[in-house]
Amino acid sequence: MTRDISLGTATAQPGTLQYGRWEALRHPTGHAEFLPIIIAQGLEDGPCLWLTAGIHGPEQAGPPVIYQLITQALVDQMRGTIIAVPALSPAGLRTMKREPYHAPTDPNRLWPDGKPETPPDPDKDAPSSLEVAYKRLFEEVQASADYLIDYHNAWTGSIPFSIRDRVLYRPGEDAGDHRTEAEALAARLDEMLRAFGLTIVNEFPAAKYIDEKLHRSTSGAALLLAGIPAFTAELGGGRMPDPAIIAASVVGTRNVMRWAGMLDGEPEPIEGIPVVDAGYPAHRRSTPHVEEACVVLHLARPGDLVRPGDPVAEIRDVWGRPIGDGLIRAEYEGFVIGRYEGICYYAGDPIFVMAVRDEAPLVGPYPEDYFK
């Protein structure tokens, strides 16, 4: 028995790859913006894994992971179904822009937030066509997905990493039950991230997470609203996809499929990329900052473990003379995810993105007033 699964014009056929289109929105010029759909289904029943990519136009390492992973040879071995959407923002991919020209906002903050529907406010802009499309697509995720990975890529020179979102639960009368469910989901997510095998970085603590609308990301909505293990994979490389990272991510995804019971065999080793395990949980933070306008010569390298006080960069004036003792030091214990680009910094600018020791809980309630 295999599950009947369709999305747009693609319908699963056991033992095959199926390709189709899911109409997302209409352009005023009469053109339809469709999302490309791939459905790969094994001959035996099993879970349904959604793989999405291309929601941020400049991040072009994600689609190749899907292309390299999903082959007839994989289908011949697998149980269950993969639904892949390699271009969540076709307009962004075409123009290599984070914000598509027809919906000039971060598209990875447009997924449903779980708040009750309110009557339209005539003084506010209506949701964009893209936001409406993602709302419909989210219903498809809820209907079929058991797991989801959304492939992004971080910037030039950064290490590849997976982001672990915190699992928020609804406060109120049933909070105890919701907390138990949230803890179980967080435990499953932890297993899935470990199966994927890249460096794990926790997402911001809850208040900033909500503030930044990260609960409305593809994986955030899948995790919090659909209640399935889901994460964002931040492949490094910036605009120049790195074949080693793509290959490692394909291996990591096959390892997730083994963990999920979709493939047999032992996990394959992740090779050719740095994998950092600090030995403690860490969440991302932009740090340290420069106190005055200056030139920065980075010393620490992506993947380096640092402790407070360790010199991480040289600081100079534009003539090249050291400012003060000529050094910027780490403020926190953690590891370097990547540098900010360039050498010229204004007062207050951060110079690295780091993963710093994380004391905040991985499961917690939504803010009290969130659903009011």
Contact footprint for Zn ion (CB under 5 A): 56, 59, 152
- Cα gap 76→78, rounded to integer Å: 6
Nearer to Zn ion, 158 or 255 (CB): 158
Shortest CB 43 distance to Zn ion, Å: 35
Query: Shortest Cβ contact with Zn ion: which residue?
Result: 152
Shortest CB 60 distance to Zn ion, Å: 11
Nearer to Zn ion, 17 or 66 (CB): 66
β partners of residue 10:
7
Nearer to Zn ion, 152 or 254 (CB): 152
Shortest CB 203 distance to Zn ion, Å: 13
- Reading the block at residue 13, the tokens are 């056929």
Shortest CB 86 distance to Zn ion, Å: 14
Shortest CB 152 distance to Zn ion, Å: 3
Nearer to Zn ion, 41 or 89 (CB): 89
Nearer to Zn ion, 56 or 339 (CB): 56
Nearer to Zn ion, 2 or 105 (CB): 105
Shortest CB 56 distance to Zn ion, Å: 4
Nearer to Zn ion, 53 or 300 (CB): 53
Shortest CB 154 distance to Zn ion, Å: 8
